[in-house]
Each structure stands twice: as C-alpha cells, then as structure tokens.
C-alpha cells in the first residue's frame, strides 16, 4: 500500500466530531462503514444507541432505547444487524436476552428473552441456555430470530466456528498501538515523547504506533490529584508535531486502548463524550 501525505497545511485537524449527549461506553464498526455506539446517562439510568457514517460522522439514527432502559448493552455488529444483550439480573454481570436491531434504521427486528448470545457468523447467531449441569446451544437466523438448529449434546463442536468468527473480526482493518514503559520505548519514540511532554512527569506506560508517515502516541502526565491524558501525532521524518489533543484532564489512572487507526483515520474519544476522527492519509 502506498501512502500519500496530505500536508498542504502544517497541521492536521479533526475530520469530524460526534457528540451523542452522554458517556460513550462502547463503539463497534460494521463492514458497511458504519459506527455503532452505546451511550449511558448515569443520572437518568438510561442506555441508548446510535449509528453514524464512518467517513462523515453523520448520524443515521441515534437515541434508540429499548423497553429495558438501563440493563442492556452492545454485544456485536454482524452484517446488517446490531446485536444487544440484556442481563440475567440487575447489578449482575451475567448476560441474558438478545435484541437485534436493523443496522440501517435502528428498528428492532426481533428479540429472545431466554437465550444468551455466544457469537455470530455469516447469517447466523449462536446462543446458549444453561440447564442444570448442561449447556444447550442454538443457531438462530439473524434475520428473523428463528431457531434453525439445536446443539443439545455437542456445544463444544462449535468452538472451531467461534474461533473462525473471532479471527475474521480481528483482521478487519484495525491497527492498535503497542504499550511500553517510558524507559523501554524505541529511541525515536522516546525522543519525541520528551519533546512533547516538555519536562512534565509522565505516568504509567505509553501507547504508540507507526502508521504510514506518522508516529502516534498517547501518554498520561500528573497534575494535582488527577492525570491528564494526551495524544500526539508526529511526522516521522521531520519530527514535526502535526496534531495533539487532550483526551481528559481528570483521569484517576492510566487506561489502555485510548486510540486506534482504521483505514487511514485516527479515532479516539475525548472526555468520554465526543468521538473524534482525524484523517492521516488516503490510499
């Protein structure tokens, strides 16, 4: 793949920003260039969901809520569908209940209150139900929720298929940073970090990655009783900073996975409330 620099200006700026009006709890990408997100309002105890265009940040739908307003979350995005889960009991981590939305409209296609999501592959969703000391597996149509196959005594036989589904998801165009202590960074990264931090006390490990013409890293510095989380992008050859942003000023502890790159764009969440995309290069 050939990279083309887009430096007609000395710095980069956000391509788009999306603020859904709550804490962005989780985001997932679809193969249709859509981003699906989960938003939580802790005070009102309401969870809602949105779907935006990956390239423009424009919403296709937003503010979608289920009849269960709080005890629900995103499970996966598979093809034309968004899969949500419920919980067996409030305040308990065990998932139970499946809700499937149409990716393009956000409308509910079907639900099943008794089964627990396991994985999805192609046009089927695989779920299970625990009965005493026995687990029963089910293959359901993603389109209708109809049970098309039952695995009463051979649930383990589905493990290879589950592994295949996971592998396909892991190789879907995402690039994630490495994690290292400041004194273990490669020399070029350490040099730029020192230039960027300007003598401030860097706390914890640093996330960094090289992507095309760029070096991206994320770091925390101490400031009173809280930590400041910053991200910086440098042009590798010239050692010139082309973009930086403060992700939060009141972090209690360093948290990994603050950013990633997909198809030439840098993505991160600012202040837990704004999803930001910065185009690095175009193929």
CA–CA gap between residue 110 and residue 4 (Å, rounded): 45
Nearby residues of 138 by Cβ (< 8 Å), 6 or more positions away: 115, 126, 127, 128, 129, 147, 149, 150, 151
Q: What is the pLDDT along the chain (283 residues), one digit of tens a residue?
A: 333 344 444 589 999 999 999 999 999 999 889 999 999 999 999 999 999 999 999 999 999 999 989 999 999 999 999 999 999 887 778 899 999 999 999 999 999 999 999 999 999 999 999 887 788 999 999 999 999 999 887 777 888 898 998 887 765 678 899 999 888 988 888 888 888 888 788 999 999 999 888 999 999 998 778 899 999 999 988 889 999 999 999 888 888 889 999 999 999 999 999 999 999 986 5
CA atoms within a 13 Å half-sphere pointing along the CA-CB vector of 185: 25
Contact 51, 63 (CB under 8 A): no
Considering the entire predicted model, what is its pTM?
0.89
Q: Which two tokens stand for residue 179?
A: 């994690």
178-190 burial, b at 16+ Cβ within 10 Å, e below that, comes to eebebeebeeebb
> Which residues are 129's β-sheet partners?
136
Nearby residues of 239 by Cβ (< 8 Å), 6 or more positions away: 191, 192, 195
């Amino acid at each position: 793949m050939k990279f083309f620099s887009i430096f007609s200006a000395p710095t980069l700026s956000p391509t788009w920003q999306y603020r859904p009006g709550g804490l962005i709890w989780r985001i997932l990408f679809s193969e249709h260039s859509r981003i699906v997100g989960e938003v939580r309002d802790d005070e009102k105890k309401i969870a809602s969901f949105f779907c935006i265009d990956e390239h423009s940040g424009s919403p296709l739908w937003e503010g979608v809520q289920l009849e269960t307003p709080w005890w629900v979350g995103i499970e996966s995005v598979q093809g034309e569908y968004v899969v949500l889960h419920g919980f067996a009991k409030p305040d308990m981590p065990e998932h139970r209940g499946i809700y499937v939305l149409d990716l393009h409209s956000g409308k509910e296609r079907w639900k099943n209150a008794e089964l627990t999501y396991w994985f999805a592959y192609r046009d089927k969703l695989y779920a299970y139900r625990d009965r005493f000391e026995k687990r029963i597996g089910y293959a359901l149509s993603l389109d209708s929720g109809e049970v098309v196959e039952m695995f009463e005594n051979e649930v383990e036989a589905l493990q290879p298929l589950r592994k295949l589904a996971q592998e396909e998801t892991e190789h879907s165009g995402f690039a994630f940073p490495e994690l290292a202590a400041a004194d273990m960074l490669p020399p070029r990264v350490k040099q730029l970090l020192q230039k960027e931090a300007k003598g401030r006390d860097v706390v914890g490990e640093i996330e960094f990655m090289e992507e095309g013409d760029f070096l991206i890293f994320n770091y925390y510095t101490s400031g009173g009783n809280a930590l400041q989380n910053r991200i910086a992008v440098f042009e590798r050859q010239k050692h010139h900073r082309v973009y930086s942003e403060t992700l939060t000023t009141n972090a209690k502890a360093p948290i990994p996975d603050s950013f990633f790159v997909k198809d030439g764009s840098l993505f991160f969440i600012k202040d837990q409330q704004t999803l930001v995309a910065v185009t690095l290069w175009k193929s």
